[in-house]
A and B are shown apart, each in its own frame.
Chain A
Amino acid sequence: MVENRPYLNFLTHLILIIGAATVVFPVYLAFIASTHGASDFMSGLVPMLPGDQLASNFSQLLNVGNSVAGAPPFALMLANSLLMAILIAVGKIAISIISAFAIVYFRFPLRLVAFWIIFLTLMLPVEVRILPTYKVVADLGMLNSYPGLVIPLIASATATFLFRQFFLTIPEELMEAARVDGAGAMKFFRDILLPLSRTNIAALFIILFIYGWNQYLWPMLITTDPQYYTAVMGIKRLASVLDGDTQWNLVMAGVILATLPPVLVIIVMQRLFVKGLVETEK
């Protein structure tokens, strides 16, 4: 700081404390709600302090689900979400890194065309082409299946660009040396490029894992079989019963469970996450 102003320092901390409290408050309230029994909401006001039903709410939700809302056990949905998020992150990274390798380290006819086709995916999010994409997936017989949940989402322009930018910064001498030593393209990729990309891959994995975990519209469209429900779309199902019958404790327990894994990932790997976020989006 340029100069010391105690009054301004106090104001700074005050703003940050109020800000952080506002940001945390909705989740605090959801957690409180998830520790109460269903009858505690009859009085018309949300309790502000934890109740004693934490274990029973969570175990009911995880193991049994909510029969009123037609939701399967939440443990199944969490497992589906985990599988989907990991497959999407790994898939996106795998196909993007080899695409970037091809674009940077080879010169071949239609290279620019390929680059532009990949670029176009940025302009076509699922939300703007819902119906025709659904139809393609239905025609391929991929409704209600893991490939249907994952494969249509794993093309990635941003990941390809990120790896391309990174490969362009790698010194030419590395490749020349590898060639002098008689390494072929794939050997160079496996033994030199992959190890060098480790940090980028890890940072990207965090961002893409969260992306995959938080998918909502796509799983909602293509799954009608509860066996394939994911957690994020499942909480909507928990909530969408007639309003009088909403089991707030279970809905909020669901929100907490669906939110916890990605939030933990960010908090534990904050530095890598910030690096990944700021670099992917530039």
Chain B
Amino acid sequence: MQTKRTIFSNRVLPYVLLAPQLAITLIFFIWPAFQAFRQSFLREDPFGMKTTFVWFSNYTRLFENADYLNALWVTLIFAVSVTALSMSLSLLFAVCVNRVLRSGRFYTTLLVWPYAVAPAAAGLLWWFMFNPSIGILPYGLRYFGYDWNYRLHEGDAMVLIVVASAWKQISYNFLFFVAGLQSVPQSVIEAAAIDGAGPFKRFWTVIFPLLSPTTFFLAVINITYALFDTFPIVDSTTSGGPSQSTNTLVYKVYADGFVGLNLGPSAAQSVVLMLIVVALTVVQFRWIENKVQY
């Protein structure tokens, strides 16, 4: 790994400088992760009197558990919907902002601030709009003969958390798409225009392929966001219901472990989640290496 050509020669100082970061990492990250790993192979009786080593039993039970399989499925639908909805809207807005020259900054300001809204607040904002008794959207939907109620209809609850999560993520995707669009060379676009390609054809055959690194990067980031950062949205709106239709993996770890105090199975769920994060991180860093090469 890279250092400077000339370096300071002090034997103790670098360790002192690293000590705070390493201490916090070891105490609050590595050690708890190790504990979760260890616990996932143990089973404790309800009174905490006796602990037995059960090999992979917690894991096999997990993947035989209908609730867990349901949570996997729910998380998959949720993550794909949030990513697709948020990224397509952001790309549309970014392309538009990139077209208007003078008012671009004005629209950008209007579009970026949701980045700062806490996920819990975003959840409550949409929860208010979607509330069956006083919300404005159910009121509108009743005109079309649809009885909206996220507390009863599983599909409605999923739509609520997808919309709230996608809304919050639009600003992030938008900024990266704008940055990506600005790095597309103007000469390539002009060349395509001279060859007779109209704006839509230029977008799909020239600009969109050149954006693919940004798109791929954002897809990974959005999936990570949908999997892990949306816990407050679920917790502040549906709490996993109705009948577990919005019980995502992260929410389930919390509900089983912290509320239900089911140590072994909850630890096994944590380990599965860690493996997912590791996989996503590796994919993300591969992307960065590829980007650096050209």
Chain A contact residues, CB within 8 Å of chain B:
1-3, 5, 8-9, 12-13, 15-16, 19-20, 23-24, 26-27, 29-30, 33, 41, 44-46, 94-96, 98-99, 101-108, 111-112, 114-115, 117-118, 120-125, 127-137, 151-152, 154-156, 160, 168, 172, 175-176, 179, 184-186, 188, 210, 213-214, 216-217, 221, 232-233, 235-236, 239, 243, 248, 251-252, 255, 258-259, 262-263, 265-267, 270, 273-274, 277-278, 281-282
Contact = CB atoms under 8 A, between A and B. Distances in A.
B25 A118 contact: yes
A9 B100 CA distance: 8
A150 to B, nearest CB: 10
B184 interface: no
Contact of A26 (B101, B107, B167): B167
B1 A115 contact: yes
A42 to B, nearest CB: 9
Contact of A221 (B118, B258, B273): B258
Contacts of B281: 122-123
Given A26-B126, A152-B28, A266-B112, A274 B175 contact: yes
Given A95-B21, A248-B134, A104 B254 contact: no
Given A29-B125, A117-B26, A131-B270, 17 more contacts: A3-B193, A29-B136, A30-B125, A45-B139, A105-B3, A106-B3, A117-B22, A120-B30, A123-B278, A124-B33, A128-B36, A152-B28, A155-B25, A176-B6, A235-B121, A266-B113, A277-B172
B92 A127 contact: no
Contact of A255 (B116, B124, B199, B231): B124
A107 B50 CA distance: 48
B128 interface: yes
23 contacts: A2-B190, A13-B100, A15-B92, A26-B126, A99-B18, A102-B14, A105-B7, A108-B14, A118-B25, A125-B277, A128-B36, A128-B228, A128-B273, A129-B270, A132-B36, A152-B24, A179-B6, A217-B232, A217-B254, A258-B121, A259-B118, A266-B115, A267-B113
B183 to A, nearest CB: 11
B185 interface: no
B24 A185 contact: no
B181 to A, nearest CB: 13
B116 A185 contact: no
B111 interface: yes
Nearest to B104: A16
Interface in B1-39: 1-8, 10-11, 13-15, 17-18, 20-22, 24-33, 35-36, 39
Contacts, number: 294
A129 B232 CA distance: 16
B176 interface: yes
A136 B288 contact: no
Contacts of A235: 120-121, 124, 236
A144 B127 CA distance: 29
Contacts of A124: 29-30, 32-33, 274, 277
A155 B29 contact: yes
Nearest to A238: B124
B7 A106 contact: yes
A46 B137 CA distance: 10
Contacts of A262: 116-118
B155 interface: no
Contact of B8 (A41, A185, A233): A185
B89 A19 contact: yes
Most interface-central of B89, B110, B124, B202 (chain A CB within 10 A): B124
